[in-house]
Amino acid sequence: MGDWTLVPAIGRSPGSVQTEAEMLEEFKRRARPYVEATALFDADWLAIAQQYGIPQALALHYASTGLKFTLDGRLVGDIAEALALDHFELVSPSKRTKGVDAFTTSGDTVQIKATGRPNAGPAFTRGQGFARYLLFFRIDFEAGKASIIYNGPEAAIRALLPTVWEGTYVINLAAVTAAASNVAKHEMLPTRLTSLA
């Protein structure tokens, strides 16, 4: 399908580029009112920035979508939703609904799932809503790349779920990849970038 390089806002912005030291100083200045400790080393500040500053910057960049980028397990999914909104003709829902993360411009429902692990398929929770389309991303954080593993009708992937299960069920990645190879081009959501089709 194609890979996208994950570029932080500073890499995309035509504005002035700060040095790393200037960015750290700006983060320290803005974060100081929210930090209990007063005597922190730069390494401490960098750890705080990694835990809180990065998701906050992502949330600010995608504020219109309602994505939160919290570290409670939603981070990978929210990153995938942001990628999908950037690279597909999708609309963010005005109200969040289980199992529906976006709409096509014609109003069809889309569920967006993702993994940060190299060998994991999409995870489903029993009782979630159903969508017409599914986009499943694999995000390689070390390489800074995201790939679409599946783009097509969600029903084909839901057919791989057992009839009964408890909690969350992760579908086998090989089965998802096999299903992806059977999706016809007209069944896929078109990307905004023709080179990724």
| Structure confidence by residue, pLDDT tens digits, 149-185 | 999 999 999 999 999 888 889 999 999 999 999 999 9
Q: Tell me the pLDDT of the chain averaged across its residues.
A: 80
Percent of the chain past pLDDT 70, that is, above it, reads 72
Q: Domain extents for the chain?
A: 20-65, 73-187
Would you state the pLDDT for residue 77? 83
Predicted confidence band of residue 68 (pLDDT cuts 50, 70, 90) = low
E strand segments, 99-161: 102-104, 109-115, 120-125, 133-140, 145-153
Distance CA 161, CA 170 (A): 9
Q: How many residues does the chain have?
A: 197
Which residue intervals of 33-158 are DSSP H helices?
42-48, 54-61, 75-87, 154-158
Dihedral in degrees, nearest 10, Cα atoms 22, 28, 31, 33: -130
Query: What CA–CA distance (Å, rounded) separates 39 from 33?
Result: 13
Q: Find the helix or strand (DSSP H, E) in which 147 lies.
A: strand 145-153
CA atoms within 13 A on the CB side of 87: 26
> Is the pLDDT score of 129 beyond 90?
no
List the single range of 96-100, 140-144, 154-158 with lowest mean pLDDT. 140-144
Q: How confident is the model at residue 197 (pLDDT cuts 50, 70, 90)?
A: very low
Q: Say if residues 134 and 179 touch (Cβ distance below 8 Å).
A: no
Angle, nearest 10°, between helix axes 75-87 and 54-61?
A: 30
- Do 66 and 169 form a contact (C-beta atoms < 8 A)? no
What's the gap between Cα 35 and its chain centre? 28
Q: ∠ CA 120-163-73 to the nearest 5 degrees?
A: 35
Q: pLDDT at position 20, please?
A: 66
Residue 7 has pLDDT above 60, yes or no: no
Considering only residues 13 and 115, tell me which one the structure prediction assigns the higher pLDDT.
115
CB 183 within 8 A of CB 153: yes
CA distances from 58 to 67, 76, 161 (A): 9, 12, 32
pLDDT band at 188 (very low <50, low <70, confident <90, very high): very high
**What per-residue confidence (pLDDT) applies to 116?**
83
What is the average per-residue pLDDT within 95-119?
A: 90
CA torsion sign for 170, 173, 177, 178 is negative
